[in-house]
Chain A
Amino acid sequence: MITAPVAWNDVAPETNTMAQTVDPQPQDAPADRLLAVAAGREVEAEVHESVFRESPVVEVDRFNLWYGAKQALHRITMPVPLNKVTALVGPSGCGKSTLLRSVNRLNDLVQTVRVTGDMRLNGDSIYDPRMDVIELRKRMGMVFQKPNPFPMSIYENVVYSLRIDGERNRAVLDEVCETSLRGSALWDEVKDRLHESALGLSGGQQQRLCIARAIAAEPEVLLLDEPCSALDPIATGKIEDLIQELRGRYSVLIVTHNMQQASRTSDYTAFMYLGRLIEYGATPDIFTKPVLRETEAYVTGRFG
């Protein structure tokens, strides 16, 4: 459990002190950035101007996270634009998933996790001690790496978040079920067997069901944690098409290992490395004219 989710102001001086102790390095020498990061030195993130022109739905504000004694996220500061698709890319272990799971505070479930800094969802502090984490999670939807439909019918899976809110009105449930399944492009495939077990669906269908479940409660932000990593190319294609359709209606934060996927589906891309944000900007810029050589090396597959 997180013992004390602390407001940013309380920890600012400490973090600043840490920053000052860092060995001053010529930050304009891009070739050395990754080495500097690996050596544990502070590196300024290269955040493009275009990101700040969007209105943010989630603002990550100097966010640090530790698993026990090991720091997994270092001073992440990034806005997530409203109604856009934002991709988090980076090599394994760079903290993409940790960052994603911090947005809906799923990391609270891990006993050894400790955080400083803050995130804001539409202006509300996520790590405010007064924030009810259950109410917070109701404002977000999340889809995991492996499809995890619940052991119940397709219908009940989709309306799960309404059920736990005590919604009993059949008409409301039916409507939400249909809208969400249509939204996740699954309706035509399952409309005749809504009351059969969700575990009988194929992996790709299960994942789209999980997306339907995530959008059923009209989330303010949709968190996708490598949603295609357990799927075959055809199912992956369908999920990517779906993300294209969700774009503009939902704010999506997606973690992916697949550079093509990031370039195809996202509006903005953030490159992370060893728990630090390295470069963040509009997807075309990141993939075609990144500021940093390291980013270019990574997105073109020359490292990582």
Chain B
Amino acid sequence: MSSEHPSRRRRSSGHTALTAHGEPWVWLTAAALVTAIAMIVGLLGFIALRGVATFWPVPLELVRLADGRSVLAEVTQREAAAPTSGSAAGHPARRLVRTGDFDSTGRHYEWIDDPAIAEVSRPEWATVVERLDTGRLHGIPRRMLHGAVTVAEGPAGVWHAFRREHPAARNRHRTIAGIDKHERGALQRQLRAARLAVVQAGLDAGPGSPAQAAAEARERSVVEAVAREEKALDERTAELAAQNAGWSVEFDTAAGGTMAVPLDAIVRAWQPNRLSLLGNVGVYLSRWGEFLADDPREANSAGGVFPAIWGTVAMTLIMALFVAPFGVLAALYLREYAGRGPVTTAVRVAINNLAGVPSIVYGAFGLGFFCYVVGAGIDSVFFKASLVADGQPTFGTGGLLWASLTLALLTLPVVIVATEEALSAVPNSMREGSYACGAGKWQTIRRIVLPRALPGIMTGLILAMARGAGEVAPLMLVGVKKLAVELPVDGTFPFVHPEREFMHLAYLIYDVGFQSPNSQAARPMVFTITFLLVAIIALLNVAAIWIRARLRRRFVTQQF
């Protein structure tokens, strides 16, 4: 549209309206946001879906193949046919099944081509048996034995008898395991303490001194007492084991044989083809319960991850405990006290750069400084006996404390930068108001500036915790272990053992997924552990955000 009279009025046109309102920019920015949201939701959704589904019972299918072989298995994945193209060999439509006889085939998963299948059925009594070791067993109950006596026969009878006898047998087994882990562990620690006392006496007073002789006498009495207690424990466990002995369940496997499983070696059994919805939920929750509360079994690929959850949470909280005061104080000095000049600027630049240092560098530093310098120093002063007796460092190796300190260093720049931002956001008029009331600098900081900046400081801490909780690389150098069932907190003096190695969910993901001898079987666990890690970090963050929201409400700012 063009104006016809030759005036200097500004012309109106459809195009200018478009560029003036910037319609395309709105769409562009919206698209960027949508992409970001889609990526986050997709990532979390995928992890959650895979992680949550792991424990849901899947029907067992009896697949009879054309060559006469039979497989009783869960179908986990189907693939459409792929034609041969060039050098890549094609395959017909096929399905990936999870089989239950690792003992005989040495495999957990198998591809079955659809054309090779003669018949598929879902036997009513098909049972999934989770065993303590060698993975699961898929079969149909045949007999229940107690010694040479057949207690029950036929799937229904055996199942009924199993439901009756299994909980007690399992409880007895758990009791034995508990005695082994806790009580025998405590006795071993007593022995070790007595032996270390002898070595210590030798170091303090010289070998052959009266003090060492006394310590040796004490050790002898401890050894005797421990032996007595061991004997009592042996009797208790033997009694329990005897009650469990002889009980076993025989299963028909799809391959045509039978397989007997001791009753107390069965963790859990369920019959997916018979389960109602409620039954499914029951199995599902029971498996989640074990996952969250138990120690791992079978090279971490089964059982629970409780020690790893504990380690992750403890490490993150201890890290926050170290980094929060440290970072806040450093930022306070930098912002409130330090004069403005080239030195301050240089320090600020250095802190910002520290945030970009690869985390493995911190790991190497933690190992080299905390473990080998500080830890070794502590050992040579306080734990020399242990070092001399069996060459075993106490603090001189990776542990929960050193890992937390390393991560605290790693996240320090984040906290300092965020705190500085928060402090500089406190209006100067408030500081002046406080000074005008006769408050000193520290009084002003403590009563006015810090409370006002607290929500911002919390934000920094949340970011730091989120980053720290998900870090793996440095932890591998400073204390995370594949398996560390002994928690850093227990009943033996001094109850807290920050020098102990620990497990961590993020490292567990790597370990279970790629380092486990049967990582294939553990693949679903990888997603579950990932989901759990994300959930725990989210939980920690939500807690921190909740605290921040409470603080914000107290110091609500109002414009006028």
Task: Please give the residue numbers on chain A whose beta carbons come within 8 Å of chain B beta carbons, in ascending order.
Answer: 104, 106, 109, 111, 134-135, 137-142, 144, 146-148, 150-152, 160-161, 163-165, 197, 199-200, 202-203, 206, 210, 213-214, 217, 223, 230
Contacts and interface: CB of A to CB of B under 8 A. Distances in A.
A137 B432 CA distance: 11
Interface stretch (B6-14, B104-112, B376-384, B436-444): B436-444
Contact of B436 (A135, A141, A203, A230): A141
Contacts of A135: 438
Interface of B: 339-340, 427, 429-430, 432-440, 443, 447-448, 451-452, 554-558, 560
A151 B554 CA distance: 8
29 contacts: A106-B432, A109-B435, A134-B438, A135-B438, A137-B436, A137-B437, A138-B438, A140-B436, A142-B436, A144-B433, A148-B432, A148-B433, A150-B430, A150-B434, A151-B554, A152-B555, A160-B447, A161-B437, A164-B438, A164-B440, A164-B443, A164-B447, A199-B555, A200-B556, A202-B560, A214-B436, A214-B437, A217-B437, A230-B560
Contacts of B436: 104, 106, 137, 140-142, 144, 214, 223
A214 B435 CA distance: 11
Contacts of A202: 560
A144 B438 contact: no
Contact of B451 (A151, A160, A217): A151
Nearest to A230: B560
A214 B436 CA distance: 8
A197 B556 contact: yes
Contacts of B433: 142, 144, 148, 150, 210, 213
Contacts of B340: 111
B349 to A, nearest CB: 22
A199 B558 contact: yes
A219 to B, nearest CB: 9
Nearest to B432: A106
A213 B560 contact: no
A197 to B, nearest CB: 6
Contacts of A146: 429
Given A150-B448, A160-B439, 16 more contacts: A106-B436, A137-B435, A139-B438, A144-B432, A148-B427, A148-B432, A148-B433, A150-B430, A151-B451, A151-B452, A152-B555, A164-B440, A199-B555, A199-B556, A203-B560, A213-B437
The 3 closest A-B pairs by CB, nearest first: A138-B438, A142-B436, A151-B555
B187 to A, nearest CB: 55
B452 to A, nearest CB: 5
A164 B437 contact: yes
Nearest to A138: B438
B432 A151 contact: no
A223 B436 CA distance: 10
Nearest to B443: A164
Nearest to A204: B560
A47 B484 CA distance: 86
Contacts of B430: 148, 150-151
B437 A109 contact: no
A61 to B, nearest CB: 22
Contacts of B443: 164
Given A144-B429, A148-B432, A197 B437 contact: no
B556 A148 contact: no
A301 to B, nearest CB: 28
B554 to A, nearest CB: 7
B522 to A, nearest CB: 52
Contacts of B557: 151, 199
B438 A217 contact: yes
A161 B438 contact: yes
Contacts of B452: 151
Contacts of A142: 433, 436
Nearest to B551: A151
Nearest to A105: B435
B436 to A, nearest CB: 4
Nearest to A152: B451
Nearest to A151: B555
A40 B440 CA distance: 38
A165 B438 CA distance: 9
A164 B433 CA distance: 13
Contacts of A197: 554-556
A210 B436 CA distance: 11
A199 B555 CA distance: 8
Contacts of B555: 151-152, 197, 199
Contacts of A200: 556, 558
Nearest to A1: B339
B439 A164 contact: yes
Nearest to B444: A164
B92 to A, nearest CB: 71
A111 B433 CA distance: 18
Contacts of B448: 150-151
Contacts of B429: 144, 146, 148
A111 B340 CA distance: 10
A165 B429 CA distance: 21
Nearest to A216: B437
Contacts of A164: 437-440, 443, 447
Nearest to A153: B554
A64 B435 CA distance: 23
B150 to A, nearest CB: 78
A138 B434 CA distance: 11
A210 B452 CA distance: 18
Contacts of A139: 438
